[in-house]
Structures are given as structure tokens and as C-alpha cells.
Amino acid sequence: MTNAEIAAAFEQVADLLEFQGSNPFRVRAYRNAARTIEDLPEPVAKIVADPQRSLTDFEGIGKDLAEKVTTLVGTGSLPMLQELLAEIPESVLAILRVPGLGPKRAAVLYRELGIASLDELREACQSEKVRALKGFGAKTEAAILQGLDIASEAQRRILWAQADEQVQAILDHLRPCPAIEQLQPAGSYRRGKDTVGDLDLLAVAKDAKRAMDHFAAYPGVADVLLRGETKMSIRLGTGLQVDLRVVPAESFGAALQYFTGSQAHNIVLRSLAKSRGLKVNEYGVFRGTKAIAGRTEEDVYGALDLPCFPPELREARREFDWAQAGALPRLVELGDIRGDLHAHSTWTDGVATIEEMAAAAKQRGLKYLAITDHSKRVAMVNGLDAKRVRRQWAEIDKLNARLKGITVLKGIEVDILEQGGLDLDDDVLAEADWVVASVHYGQNQPREQITRRVVEALQNPHVSAIAHPTGRMLRQRRPYEIDLEAVFKTARDYGKLLELNAHPVRLDLDDVACAAAKNHGVLVVISTDSHRVDGLGAMRFGIQQARRGGLTKEDVANTRTWTQLKKIVGKR
């Protein structure tokens, strides 16, 4: 079982317990464990198999949960989860995950109206039965209907980071197969799209049958959907569909190009080929019946006098214009990043101390790390008031005196208040090295109001950047109604930065917005918003999104040294 699968099982247990009205601490314990496991940098199965190590060493995993993990790894199922599922119809689980609903409200719907499926829920909302329930109302009903749309979309696509975990596991399974000579994932996964519909794998094999037998034997397979001579489709237990195509070596590059897509990119490519009297398809590039390229992607693009576009750019946006002008941007890389400018600590909702975060950042080769804990408005996580943040900064000064090779920056994630203005006074903010401002409350305000709040925050001389500027959370929450054009213009006029939050659920700014920021002359800062040391690993997801937006090293602020960056933010 992959970490994602184990985490999903725990999440399910938590959902079902909450649905039943269990003790909140018990529910929380399962959720925390799920998060810990999801964020582990190595497979849980490996830790379980190692007699020298114990799962109880990890945050939030006690003896009981460790035993449950061992059971899951060993048997692939959890008796406790089976018992819960026997008591509650499984279709209820889908309702629990409707954004804006949650287990408590779902339980009311189940008890009062007998709603046990998404279809029943939609119908109850449409016939206005839900608004009549105590504690619901017309607004909630509308929000549930919107949530239903998001949920049905979400059922079809998964986060890139989740896809990545499953891809790596499948590749690990396939690589040892002696029949397979070449192997590459293609499709939206290879293009680094923020969500992935299904996986497309390509292989060259000495023996297609043996390769497919090996594929079918992957332990994660739930169903074989289709099996032909050269193509096979399976569905994993996670619900993800995976297509494997076996192609001849002389067509591998052409197939990789074709199945990487995007479809829109391929359409442009085909028409360019046609205008030169050539034909391009998944077998190769042809002049008449003669194949002139196909073995590698470089050959395929080369035959059309085109550069081998980085997969992230293949969306038929600007890439062909750039290629024609000989000005394909050199995209930013993970190795270009020198610092991380959004991270939390145990002072608020992080689970690692400042020193632990700094050590982990240093180990990743970073030269600076801004600690940006929440401000007091976020009372739920014990947000910092002026007194506590000054105490934290005094501690950071002391810590910096001891640390070598990394600088901890005195930062704050200051809330942009519902009615406008910032959650901490200017004299406090003036003492910070780095200030990110963000919206956490009043996210449903009308466009003009929420835009004004963010624009005014950018105008504050002490604010360095806006965190997660649109507030979107993939599969969970739509972006605010914010006018990004106005935000870009203000950021440019006031010399401020905008964040690309690298958390795989956020990726906010998204690729298109990154490109727009660049067009407006606004620098983007890629930050992980880490709440634990492993969270720093999310930087690669942000890099990928930035690359999709065509950003170069110069376009990304935190490829600079802190000394250089300080001049740009230049508030003092």
C-alpha cells in the first residue's frame, strides 16, 4: 500500500467517526496521522519492514495507530474501517466530501432526510428541502449545490502530487521486468498539470505480452479494463485509470510526443507539418510513406525545425511563437531556488520548531528561510499578536547568531482583515524582514470588496508579498472573485511580489496567472507554506507550475540571494 492509500484509509476512518458523532480528539488523531503519513518522504512499508525503526517515532502516531498502519501494510485492509462501513452506507462517504458540508452536517442530512447519496443530496437541494432544516438555510443550500459541482469534477481528477506517488510506484514495479526496454510516463502527468485525469504510460518491449502480464500483476490493480495486442488499461484501487501502450522502438519518440500532448499542442504541430508537406502521427514524421523521424522526441520536433519543447510548455499557448522567434524561455529549475519565504512553526500551526525548520531548509541547500507564522486574527491556531511576534523575532535573532550556512528571516503572515486593513500595526510590521499578507476570512465577498482589500494590502509599505493570491484549493474551493488584473497592476506599481504557493492543493498563482504576472512585470516568489519539515519538499510542485507559466530564473524572486532580494523588496 502506498502512503496515499494508507492516509486515505485513516481519513475515511476519521470521516466516519465524525459522522457518528465520536469524540473529536479521537477523530483528530486519525486526521493527524493521515497527514503525517501523506507527508512522509519514504514509503511507510519500508519503515514497517525495518526492525530498527518504529512508526511511533513520527509525529502523531502512537502505539495503537502504529499497529493499525502495520495491519494496513500487511493485509491491505483495516478491520475497524470495515466495521464502520458495515454500519454506515458507503455512499455516505461521497457526501462527507462535498465541499462546504462536512461530517456533522452530513449526519443531519442523513438522520433528518435520509440522504445517503450525491444524487439524493442534489435533488433535496433543488426541491428546497435542505434549507428547511435547522441550521441550514437558502445560502447553505446554494453552497452545497456548488460544492456538488466541485465534488463531481474532483471525482474525475486527482492532484499531480498524488498522481506522482502512484506513477513512481508503478514505475518501480515495471522497471525490473526483463521484457521492457524503455519506459516513460506521458500525458498531463508529464506536462506537470496541477490535476491529472488518467495516466498514460509508454513502453518499448521485447515481448509485449510479457510486459502486459507484468503490468497486470501490479499489486495496486483493481480491474483490468481492456487488454489488446499493444494497449492495456487498468483501474487501480485508488480509482485512477492507467493506460500502457507498447510501441516499436523506432516510433517511441513519436508516441511519446503524441501521447504527451496536449491535444491542442498536437493540433498546431500537425498543421505546421502539413504546411511543409509532412505528416506527423504517433508512429513518426512522414514524407509520403517514408518515415523521416520517430525514434526520439528530439528527432520528431527536429524534423519540423522545432526545439524539443519542455513538456510543461506544451499547451498551445505561446510556445510556437517563442520557437519561431528563437526565444524559447529557459525555464526555472529547482536548483535555482535559494530560499523559502513562507513557513510556519510551533508558534502557531506548524509542528516543527523554528530551529528544526531551519536545519531542514539548510539540508535542502537553501540559504534563507522566512518564518511567517499567522497573526492573531487566526485565533484558531493561536496566531501571534504584537507581543508574541516580537518575542519570536528576538528568538530568531539569537538563533541566527548560532546558525551557520542559513539565515532565518523574521517574517509574519499577516491577515488581511474582513473589513480591510491588516491584523498588525505598521510599527510592528516595520520590524519584520519579510511580510506576506493573506486573506483567510471573508473569502466569499463580492469582487470589488475582496479586490480592494488585497490592493490596499499591497499599498502598505511594509508588505512584501501576497500569499496564495486567489485562495483556490484544488478539488475543495474555487478562487475568490478577485480581480487579478488590478492586483498585478498594483503589485507592479508598488514593487511588490506575488506568491506561487507550492502546496500541491493550492498551486496558487496557477500557471496562467504566473504568465500574466510576468507580462505585467511582477516577480513571483515560490514558497512552500510548510507546516512541517517535510513540507519544504513541496518546492518542486511550485517549480513545475512556474515552468508551465513560462517563468525563468529571473522571473522568480527567490532565485536571488537574500541581499539582492532585500533591495528589491526595499522597504527600509
**What are the angstrom distances between the C-alpha of 88 and each of 107, 109, 119, 196, 474?**
10, 13, 17, 30, 28
Could you give the CA distance from residue 7 to residue 14 in angstroms, rounded to a whole number?
11
**Angle at the Cα of 467 (from 462 to 472), degrees rounded to 5?**
155
Shortest separation between residue 280's beta carbon and ligand DGT, angstroms: 11
Pick the stretch among 246-254, 256-264, 273-281, 450-458 that binds ligand DGT (CB under 6 A). Answer: 256-264
Handedness of CA 177, 180, 183, 185 (dihedral sign): negative
Nearest CB to ligand DGT, comparing residues 160 and 368: 160
Total of chain residues touching Ca ion, rule CB under 5 A:
5
Applying CB under 5 A, which of residues 43, 187, 339, 411 lies at the interface with Ca ion?
187
**Exposed / middle / buried, residue 230 (Cβ in 10 Å: 0-12, 13-18, 19+):** middle
490 is written with which cell numbers?
A: 498594483
Q: Are 526 and 561 in contact (CB under 8 A)?
A: no
Residue 148: closest CA among 537, 478, 487, 523: 478
529 scored as a contact of Ca ion (CB under 5 A): no
User: Is the CB of 262 or the CB of 561 nearer to ligand DGT?
Assistant: 262
| By the rule CB under 5 A, 319 interacts with Zn ion | no
Is residue 235 helix, strand or coil? strand
Using left for φ > 0, alpha for ψ between -120 and 50, and beta otherwise, residue 368 falls in: beta
- Binder among 165, 200, 297, 423 for ligand DGT (CB under 6 A): 200
The smaller minimum CB distance to ligand DGT, of residues 283 and 441, is found at: 283
Which of the choices Ca ion, ligand DGT, Zn ion, none does residue 535 contact, using the CB cut-off of 5 to 8 A by kind?
none
Taking CB under 6 A as the rule, does residue 258 contact ligand DGT? yes
Residue window 5-34: x/- pattern of binding to ligand DGT, with contact defined by CB under 6 A: ------------------------------
**Residue number with CB closer to ligand DGT (136 or 259):** 259
What does the per-residue mask of binding to ligand DGT show for 177-196, with x meaning CB under 6 A?
A: ----------xx----x--x
Q: How far is the CB of 266 from ligand DGT (least distance, A)?
A: 6
Q: Is 200 in the site for Ca ion (CB under 5 A)?
A: yes
- Using CB under 6 A as the binding rule, whether residue 166 contacts ligand DGT is answered as no
**Residues 558 and 341: beta-carbon distance below 8 Å:** yes
253 binds ligand DGT (CB under 6 A): no
CA distance 364 to 261: 33
CA gap 68, 74 in Å, rounded: 10
Is residue 165 a contact residue for Zn ion (CB under 5 A)?
A: no
- Minimum distance of Ca ion from residue 133's CB (angstroms): 40
> Which DSSP category does 432 fall into?
-
Query: How many of the other CB atoms lie within 10 Å of CB of 345?
Result: 25
Is 235 a binding residue for ligand DGT by CB under 6 A? The answer is: no
Candidates 236-244, 275-283, 382-390, 562-570 — which segment interacts with Ca ion by CB under 5 A?
236-244
Point out which span in 136-144, 176-184, 259-267, 422-430 binds ligand DGT (CB under 6 A): 259-267
CA quadruple 562, 564, 565, 570: dihedral positive or negative?
positive
Q: Cα dihedral angle (164, 169, 174, 176), rounded to 10 degrees?
A: 130
Query: Residue 139 carries which side chain, given as an amino acid letter?
Result: K
Selected from 54, 75, 152, 263, the binder of ligand DGT by CB under 6 A is 263
Which CB, 121 or 538, lies closer to Zn ion? 538
Dist. CA 436–CA 342, nearest whole Å? 8
Q: What angle do CA 155, 120, 115 make, to 5 degrees?
A: 105
Contact with ligand DGT (CB under 6 A): which of 100, 102, 197, 310?
A: 197
Q: Which of 22, 32, 71, 262 binds ligand DGT (CB under 6 A)?
A: 262
Per CB under 5 A, 395 contacts Zn ion: no
Contact pattern from residue 505 through residue 544 relative to Zn ion, giving x for each residue in contact according to CB under 5 A and a dash for the rest:
------------------------x---------------
Eight-class DSSP state of 423: S
Position 198 contacts Ca ion (CB under 5 A): yes
* Cα gap 352→473, rounded to integer Å: 24
- Residues lying near ligand DGT in the complex (CB under 6 A): 187-188, 193, 196-198, 200, 258-259, 261-263, 266
